[in-house]
Amino acid sequence: MVKIETIIELKKGKKPNSISLLSENGALPYVDIKAFEKGIIEAYTNDDKCISCEDGDLLIVCDGSRSGLVGRAIKGYVGSTLARIDIDSSADKDYIYYFIQGKYALLNTQKKGTGTPHLNAALLKESRIFLPDISTQRRIVAKIEELFSQLDSGVETLKKTKAQLAVYRQAVLKEAFSPMENWEHKRLSEIGVVNLGRQRSPKNVSNNYPTKYIRAANITETGLSLTDVLDMEFTPKEKEKYLLKHGDIVVSEASGSITQVGKPAIWEEQLSECCFQNTVIRLRLKNDNPKYVYWYLKYLYVNGYYSRIVGGVGINHIGAGNFSNIEIDLAPISEQDKIVNQIESRLSVCDSIEKIVDEALQQAEGLRQSILKKAFEGEI
């Protein structure tokens, strides 16, 4: 076992004096974090005072939240938040790559500095590595890649299963809401009362009547997340208008992402007293089953319906008016419970399978780290 500092040297990248958006006059890619991690090249330079890198050179992130991440370079100049890893001839480049990859969790959680975190280079340099002869190193690399290939194949199958589950969920909802002859076609404003929540402003800071309220961020794909619920001033008179009641349907009215607008959830008195902000629309039904209408709105959401009716610049809004005019197919009230039970029975099986898949994906990442650990302890 030897300290890795005896076989590697880090050469930190530099900011070039000039950067261009195009590759011209011999300029090469400026390999910043985006180019390194995602292959997206946004800048070029020909400043030969910068640290160059060749295809396949090892780079490591030195600054920011991804500090400790190691990967392979493209030909260009090393960005100022990265460092090139130069390797002694006694070590195989891929062998070092996998060794440092196995140290990522340690390096990333024990960064230095406040504000912008930095790689603890001393922690890396002090790491001890099993260093057999080059041919043995390459056999170990080949075994790691063989095991990773098998693992990647399994992960790909799990991801395909998740995608198939999403398609199945859509199919369940589509089948459930295929209208029959005795169904009615009604606007939401005909079956309930639609309200937009109260705007948050400096004058509404909690004072005499601090009250919990939900905002669009509290509405998730799987329901309401109430771990981060804020307070705002709601007077007794305002509570009459904005207080949520059991069975109210709440919908995310606004989001910077168009795909996040229209997420529905049901209020089931998870908190004893709670109002809602103007990034949320409330639908209070007159007679229909809230779960039936919730699942119908979920059906619209997963099929991208809201992307056709939102407006706004920067922030996407449904608007209470647009929402009120949404038309849905209503089964007779006597049939709504049966339809809800069929949906939830089928989707509960789907949820159980997805939970198993998610657990398997987490275990796969743990297995990847286990493979690397054993490889550098001489066990494979």
Structural tokens at position 85: 């890893």
In a domain, 351, yes or no: no
Tell me, yes or no, whether 211 and 323 share the same domain.
yes
Entry pTM? 0.74
Residues 102 and 202 in one domain: no
Domain match, 326 and 189 both? yes
* Within-domain flag for 336: no
Half-sphere exposure of 200 (CA within 13 A, CB side): 17
For residue 204, what pLDDT is reported? Answer: 67
Which stretches within the chain are classed as H helix? 33-38, 93-101, 104-109, 121-125, 134-176, 188-191, 236-242, 290-302, 320-324, 333-375
End-to-end Cα distance, the chain: 16
CA distances from 48 to 13, 30, 58 (A): 12, 12, 19
C-alpha 175: how far from chain center? 29
In a domain, 338, yes or no: no
Residue 306 included in any domain: yes
Please indicate, yes or no, if residue 192 is contained in any of the structural domains.
Answer: yes
Q: Kindly report the CATH number assigned to the domain that includes residue 25.
A: 3.90.220.20
Identify any residues that bridge with 63 across adjacent strands, giving them in sequence order.
Answer: 118
Give the residue from 314, 330, 346 where a domain finishes: 330
- Does residue 99 lie in a domain region? yes
- Both 194 and 106 in one domain: the answer is no
Positive or negative, the CA dihedral 303, 308, 313, 316 is negative
3-state SS, residue 129: strand
Distance CA 277, CA 342 (A): 33
| Contact in structure between 253 and 279 (CB atoms under 8 Å) | yes
Nearest-CA neighbor of 8 among 54, 48, 59, 50?
A: 59
Burial of 130 (0-12, 13-18, 19+ CB in 10 A): middle
- Same domain for 232 and 127, yes or no, is no
Predicted confidence at residue 183, as pLDDT, reads: 96
319 and 220 within one domain: yes
Co-location of 124 and 210 in the same domain: no
Question: Domain range holding 77?
Answer: 2-131
For residues 203 and 125, membership in a common domain is answered with no
Evaluate whether residue 378 is within a structural domain. no
- Output the six-digit token pair for 311: 């407006």
Same domain, 195 and 323: yes
pLDDT along the chain (380 residues), means of 10: 94 92 89 89 92 95 93 94 96 96 92 85 92 94 96 96 94 95 95 94 76 95 92 92 97 91 95 94 97 97 89 87 96 96 96 95 92 86
Same domain, 126 and 188: no
**Residue 341 forms part of a structural domain:** no
Same domain, yes or no, for 323 and 237? yes
When divided into structural domains, the chain yields a total of: 2
Residues sharing a CB contact under 8 Å with residue 127, sequence separation 6 or more, in sequence order: 3, 4, 99, 103
